[in-house]
């Protein structure tokens, strides 16, 4: 197939001509969408990696981070943190350092961490994921917190009643779980349960999520990987 899927993406509604990346420019969640699309592309995403790294760096300001290099899009959300870290280990290091510097809070678009909504470590899966993505030690407590989130996802998501956004985030984070026993066990179990229920990326994009982006259903794999 060569780079067939990548060429399909380049000529689709997913592509940002301005930035030369599949950022789904009709929306304003470029980092997490880029991460999901690159995961869907698998090995065909390799030509995008260098540009993706540069894109993230162009969104870094002296005291904060922007969704778009020109400052558009409002606050950098925890979804955007997760997405950028998923496609770039370098970004994961920078984002983790920022959170640790601010005791788990992430600066808003003005560089402030005062608002309680900016406390991102309330998402108990985020710190263990970032540490795993970087390749740091993740202790039993951290692995357990992350695994509890994944198991809860497994319990709550049924064939005809599920959270597409939450499932896709587990899929992104799960790529970094392999070296951590508890995390790997919970993720592998999650994948098996989702497959048994007929829930996978292609099914999600075909009928339940980003309907306005039909190319997603074309490039997504049938099962979570």
Give residues with Cβ within 8 angstroms of 45, minimum separation 6. Answer: 6, 37, 38, 39
Are the CB atoms for 99 and 64 separated by under 8 Å?
A: no
3-state SS of the chain: helix, strand, coil percent to 5?
60, 5, 40
Per-residue pLDDT of the chain (225 residues; tens, 9 = 90+): 457 999 999 999 999 999 999 999 999 999 999 999 999 999 999 999 999 999 999 999 999 999 999 999 999 999 999 999 999 999 999 999 999 999 999 999 999 999 999 999 999 999 999 999 999 999 999 999 999 999 999 999 999 999 999 999 999 999 999 999 999 999 999 999 999 999 999 999 998 999 999 999 999 999 999
Q: For residue 3, what pLDDT is reported?
A: 76
Q: For residue 1, what pLDDT is reported?
A: 43
Q: Two tokens at 166?
A: 């939450």
Q: For residue 111, what pLDDT is reported?
A: 96
What is the DSSP annotation of 149-209? HHHHHHHH-BTTB--HHHHHHHHHHHTT-TTSHHHHHHHHHHHHHHHHTT--HHHHHHHTS
How deeply is 144 buried, as exposed, middle or buried, from its count of CB atoms within 10 A (0-12, 13-18, 19+)? middle
Q: For residue 25, what pLDDT is reported?
A: 98
Are the CB atoms for 70 and 56 separated by under 8 Å?
A: no
Q: For residue 2, what pLDDT is reported?
A: 55
């Amino acid at each position: 197939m060569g780079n067939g899927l990548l060429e399909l993406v380049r000529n689709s509604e997913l592509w940002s001509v301005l930035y030369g990346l599949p950022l789904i420019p009709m929306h304003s969640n470029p980092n997490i969408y880029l991460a999901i699309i690159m995961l869907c592309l698998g090995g065909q995403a390799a030509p995008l990696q260098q540009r993706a790294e540069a894109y993230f760096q162009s969104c870094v300001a002296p005291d904060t981070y922007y969704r778009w290099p020109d400052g558009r899009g409002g606050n950098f959300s925890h979804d955007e943190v997760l997405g950028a870290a998923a496609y770039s280990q370098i970004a994961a290091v920078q984002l983790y350092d920022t959170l640790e510097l601010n005791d788990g809070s992430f600066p808003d678009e003005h560089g402030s961490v005062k608002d309680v909504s900016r406390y991102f470590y309330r998402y108990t899966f985020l710190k263990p994921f970032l540490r795993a993505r970087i390749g740091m030690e993740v202790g039993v407590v951290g692995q357990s917190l992350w695994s509890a989130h994944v198991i809860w996802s497994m319990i709550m998501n049924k064939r005809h009643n599920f959270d597409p956004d939450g499932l896709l985030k587990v899929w992104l984070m799960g790529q970094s779980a392999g070296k951590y026993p508890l995390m790997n066990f919970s993720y592998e179990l999650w994948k098996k349960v989702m497959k048994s229920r007929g829930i996978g990326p292609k099914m999600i994009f075909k009928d339940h999520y980003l309907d306005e982006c039909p190319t997603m259903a074309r490039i997504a794999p049938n099962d979570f990987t």
